[in-house]
Structure 1
Amino acid sequence: MTTKNKTPEEFQFGGVLNAFVSQTEQKPQESSFLPLASIILPKSQPRRYFDPQRLENLKTSIKQYGILEPLIVRPVKDDVYELVAGERRYRAATELKLTEVPVVVRTLNDKEAIQVALIENLQREDLNPVEETQGILNLLSVELDVPLDKVKSLLTQMKHAHDKPGHNVMPPEAIAIEQVLASLGKMTWESYVKNRLPLLNLSEELLQALEEGTIEYTKARAIAGIKEVSKRKSLLKEAIAQGLSLSQIKEKIAKLKAAAAKGKGGTVDKTLMYPQRLKEIYTKAKKVKSWDDLEKQQEFEALLEGLEKLL
């Protein structure tokens, strides 16, 4: 895939929607049946993880009702079709040893096939956060016709220009990037860069937990702050087993860091605990409503004034 220099006008969004919408809005396409053996898998798919239980549930449903939603395929050569969307249904059908499956055949080139596969999966809203993040990155790569590393570089440039508009200039590709994210309706490009893109750099055990859906991505990112592998894995296991909240995880991380500092022969860095302590005090104050006590209001006001002076 080669990098092309384009002007902002050339990035008027259309490739993604043309690949996905035009095929369906021109006229409804009726499904037909094809031999399962005539369908091959593409070289890459948006999905990397298939939940075993969900796959079993799908197989049970197919046994009872059949495949209710056709697979999307495209012709690649005589009597051979490549799967574009519907890999989980394809896998279930294969395990059930079905001889044929319902399909909708679309004539798509390589770029359009990748776009439709990515958008179909992203819009189904059942990708895990890692797959969704990677899927959006791949979609941007296809739409801009640039390598994945270039997409990451462009997103970084956009972030710098957004954070310091007087010192940095938005790249021309920003228009297309904004439109792709807007068309998906899931998040802004700012949110994607800040909250999602860092997920791809998480450790293997955190990525696996995200792919399996056993932990939320906000919690995984917090746990990633623990550099010692054994302690990180231990907290991850505890967080999953006990269903720890994000605030509980952050509290445990603060204690781990404080203990680590003390263990190195130094004094405990109390500043590591301040944010959590303030949050706990605020939570307690809301519950007991200390400021409603007339006898405590004067003392409460003095404490607030003192804190405001420190900040």
Structure 2
Amino acid sequence: MKRSAKNIKLASVDDLFSTEESRADENREKIIEIPLTELFPFKDHPFKVIDNEAMFDTAESVKQYGVLVPAIARPRDEGGYELVAGHRRKRACELAELDTMPVIVRNLDDDEAVIIMVDSNLQRENILPSERAFAYKMKLSAMKRQAGRPLKENGSQVGNNLLGKKASELLAEQVGESKNQIYRYIRLTHLIPEILSMVDEKKIAFNPAVELSFLKKEEQTDLLDAMDMEQATPSLSQAQRLKKFSNEGKLTLEVMSAIMSEEKKGDLDKVTLTGDKLKKYFPKSYTPKQMEETIMKLLEGWHKKRTRDQER
């Protein structure tokens, strides 16, 4: 029986004259120069790009030597490319007044892109608590979705079906944190932006911030007013009591103000001597370290004399 002619697939002219090597080369990743105007930020990118001293140093380096490590981007349906890794490098190129930057273009699904984006930024030395919080949340969600896919879809370099472990366990191993600590960081994403900024600025410590994240949004807004009125931020014990009152439905602005007006034990035990107070007792040439060493010697001498007097 003769096969139908319509089932015969004819090779294109390009296929006939292309070699296996050239076809492999077409599929190989390439570094291409892409105009900065065609590079768009990653959706919900959790890492801040700030024009600080480090950024200006990077821009100066880019101006002299170019971008040494290409960015990674993926094509957008609406045109242009979405940056996956390289937001700071793009900003440095803008400050260096460049028009293009080298980019590796990859076809990545949403979860693959999230994982690469987070991993490329977690290598930085200084990461704000808010950045870490949202990064952990995004990557953990992506890893959980990958874990639920069929094995053949999950065998990629970023998937690997989670090696039989829970997503949170694998993430903990990758970032060098305990699983518990990862979830504590993720709790920070429940803070309103104003309070989360205070955590980044070290006005509120990490542990109290985790407790405050359990307050309702409107309670957190009221807490901002209470902190402003009392010119104080909550200690861990105060934050725990605020959480307890919230759980019991008794957390009012009056209760918050009463708690925030308390003198903290650390404040009662603390003695603060500012540099302005101390400078008048020392030569102008003295550094803060020399002043500290001199004060410690005087205190030690006073303590020894007092001990001798008591023993007489």
TM-score (norm 2): 0.51
CA contact (8 A) 1:75 1:107 kept: yes
- Which amino acid in 2 is paired with 1:72? I
1:303 is aligned to none
Q: Hey, which bits of structure 1, 4+ residues long, moved more than 4 A? A: 76-79, 213-217, 222-228, 275-280
1:218 is aligned to 206
CA contact (8 A) 1:58 1:92 kept: yes
* Distance (whole Å) between structure 1 residues aligned to residue 187 and residue 41 of structure 2: 29
Q: Indicate how the Cα distance of structure 1 residues 218 and 279 shifts in structure 2: closer, same or farther if over 3 A, else same.
A: farther
Structure 2, unaligned stretches of length 5 or more? Answer: 1-27, 147-163, 243-253, 272-298
- Which amino acid in 1 is paired with 2:227? R
| Offset from partner CA, 1:278-299 (integer Å, 9 cap, x none) | 999xxxxxx999xxx8xx9xxx
Structure 1, unaligned stretches of length 5 or more? Answer: 1-27, 147-172, 240-248, 281-286, 297-311
- Which of the numbers 218, 224, 229 marks the counterpart of 2:224? 229
Compare the two structures and name the one with the higher helix fraction: 1
Q: Indicate how the Cα distance of structure 1 residues 57 and 29 shifts in structure 2: closer, same or farther if over 3 A, else same.
A: same
CA contact (8 A) 1:41 1:83 kept: yes
Q: Indicate how the Cα distance of structure 1 residues 38 and 203 shifts in structure 2: closer, same or farther if over 3 A, else same.
A: closer
Superposition RMSD in Å: 4.8
* Distance (whole Å) between structure 1 residues aligned to residue 182 and residue 121 of structure 2: 17
* Distance (whole Å) between structure 1 residues aligned to residue 127 and residue 262 of structure 2: 40
Q: How does 1:140-179 map to 2 (within 5 A)?
A: 140-145=140-145, 175-179=166-170
Q: Indicate how the Cα distance of structure 1 residues 218 and 93 shifts in structure 2: closer, same or farther if over 3 A, else same.
A: same
Number of corresponding residues: 210
1:200 is aligned to 189
| Offset from partner CA, 1:117-174 (integer Å, 9 cap, x none) | 122112334431111111101111111129xxxxxxxxxxxxxxxxxxxxxxxxxx97
1:111 is aligned to 111
Partner SS state of residue 108, structure 2: coil
* Distance (whole Å) between structure 2 residues aligned to residue 56 and residue 201 of structure 1: 33
CA contact (8 A) 1:222 1:250 kept: no
- Which amino acid in 2 is paired with 1:232? M
- Which of the numbers 163, 167, 182 marks the counterpart of 2:173? 182
* Distance (whole Å) between structure 1 residues aligned to residue 110 and residue 235 of structure 2: 45
Offset at residue 209 of structure 1 (A):
3.5
* Distance (whole Å) between structure 2 residues aligned to residue 88 and residue 269 of structure 1: 43
Offset at residue 96 of structure 1 (A):
4.2
1:50 is aligned to 49
CA contact (8 A) 1:35 1:101 kept: yes
* Distance (whole Å) between structure 1 residues aligned to residue 116 and residue 127 of structure 2: 15
Task: Report which of the two structures shows the higher radius of gyration computed on alpha carbons.
Answer: 2
Offset at residue 87 of structure 1 (A):
0.9
Q: Which fold has the larger relative contact order, with Cα–Cα distance below 8 Å and residues 6 or more apart in sequence?
A: 1
Identical positions, percent? 25
CA contact (8 A) 1:223 1:232 kept: no
